[in-house]
Structure 1
């Protein structure tokens, strides 16, 4: 798809409208409940005991601004139709998880203080942390699945350089990149075991309410399926297309050696400069694809030579 669209409608709804509606809901609910709330409500707990209090509407305006600036700020990139699709999806999920976490937590803290005379006795609604995070991730993934890649895709005007590798075209070529199941299990344990210890020391389960959905979100972003076929190159994550490059726009593919931290400053989906992206999950061979629009995508895969040869051979046949 080639388009000059600048705003993705789904991104505008989920990335801009929903955070603003959540912020507005906090203000409206607080104003409606104010007659039933104490003059000052508990706004912070130390363990299970409130240790800070504030005027309900003052707290509501503070939370509304945080939701709009922090949650909405993360989500806003989802509305930019020409931005990299995978990055837009990730930021939307993360931003809505933060948005719903803050909104649900604040509304829950008000709920437990309705019609009470002494807010110092109000319990901390730990359940709201897990509920807000899970709802935010679910809404975020729904919105992410509706985002579309509207970037411009001018067709390639040349065939691949003769020096680039060629090979047999036994399609499709599919490779799983990122963390395997054993590594995923180890990473999950490294995160969850310390959290369980903290819960036992605190005598409260609420840290798990954040840790479990957060762990799921992070680990889900570390496994990808790369596919090369007659259409081009596609990358899928959690069953959805994360990014794709049509064969008609690719001007060449090569093989290089790359190191995630030394060359890209990190692991996973990376951006080194505008239009240069990397899906780097290990040290070793990497497929590098260049398009007519100036995009360059690097993917670490043990099948880089095979993929590059097939892509260039297919591209040769366009003439």
Structure 2
């Protein structure tokens, strides 16, 4: 009797909780709090500032509902991708961190604005909730990292049944093989400066530097996402980022591995984790040697690493040994 193949999981439970439920509860909390505080709030509260001066006003309930909608649509729209079990794991983790960081920012401001204006008769004197901005970003980012660490790869795996081509490299299998495959320090500094420059100019023209508190965490996150670690052992090929496996394949899935010379912009359109068509992923952080690994499911992974020849040779030899035993 043939054992039925289990259906692939559609939703990741951790992704549903952190990517969908958490943003909705956060949005609801801000709205409920505003209604609780409504008797002590002025008819119009300050909702926008130019520098330190309040410039726009709205009813407390209107402001609360607007913020709640923004949390669900913007923050939840990003983080909700984490719930899709078959989506690429790294993409799901990045979108969850970004989405919950946005949720934390909006909800913190949504809560801080009415609290700071309790019993206030002149909302024009309301201060900009700078502390809430920083706290919301930090809390949201931490929640996003916690949720991202709980996401799992539910990708359907296919075991390779063919040996790698004879013209592919072979070498002694000395595992594990590890390599830091991120950008150089000078490249990271240059990238951070380019990303921070627009915000710095905006702050200079506005004569207020609080916006940098919002923008700098985004720059930091972008720089962190350009740092990867490649780990190859007898069981798997893993690309790690932020201490988590961003991409992972089993060695039993390998159809073959080769070495190529890669140019990030010309070959993949940029640096970092890239996709070039469906199932063709690249972890590209510098010009130079790269290992290109093809899998039985049809996916292909390209990683720029100085140990490309060593990785390719070891994977092809492992595949030969596995098939010889079967």
Q: Is this contact kept in 1: 2:183–2:286, CA < 8 A?
A: no
Between the two proteins, the alignment pairs up a number of residues equal to: 318
Residues in 2 aligned to 1:198 and 1:293: alpha-carbon distance in whole angstroms = 47
Task: Report runs of 4+ in structure 1 exceeding 3 Å deviation.
Answer: 180-205
Give distance in 2, aligned partners of 1:3 and 1:209: 45
Contact 2:50–2:206 (8 Å) recurs in 1: no
Question: Which of 271, 274, 280 matches 1:267?
Answer: 271
1:302 corresponds in structure 2 to 306
Q: Deviations over 1:43-62 (max 9, x none)?
A: 11111111111111112221
Q: Quote how far apart the aligned CAs of 1:196 are.
A: 6.6
Give the match for residue 87 of structure 2.
83
How well do the aligned residues superpose, as a CA RMSD in angstroms? 2.0
Query: What are the within-5 Å matches in structure 2 for residues 1-319 of structure 1?
Result: 4-188=8-192, 204-319=208-323
Name the SS of the counterpart of 1:234 in structure 2.
strand
- 1:100-149 alpha-carbon deviations (Å, 9 max, x no partner): 11111121112111110110110111111111111111110000111111
Q: CA, structure 1 residues 309+3, in 2 after alignment: closer, same or farther (shift >3 Å)?
A: farther
Q: Which moved more, 1:222-231 or 1:282-291?
A: 282-291
104-113 or 196-205, which deviates more: 196-205
Partners in 2 of 1:25 and 1:207 — Cα distance?
A: 25
TM-score by length of 1: 0.93
Secondary structure of residue in 1 paired with 2:232: strand
- Give me the TM-score of the superposition, normalised by structure 2: 0.91
Shift of 1:239: 1.9
In structure 2, the residue corresponding to 1:174 is in which secondary structure? strand
Give the direction of change, closer, same or farther, for the CA distance of 1:206–1:303 in structure 2 (3 Å limit).
same
Distance 1:202 1:137 in 2: 27
C-alpha displacement at 1:84, in angstroms?
1.0
Unaligned runs of 5+ in 1: none
Look up the SS of the partner of 2:302 in the other structure: strand
Question: Quick one: distance in 2 between partners of 1:80 and 1:197?
Answer: 38
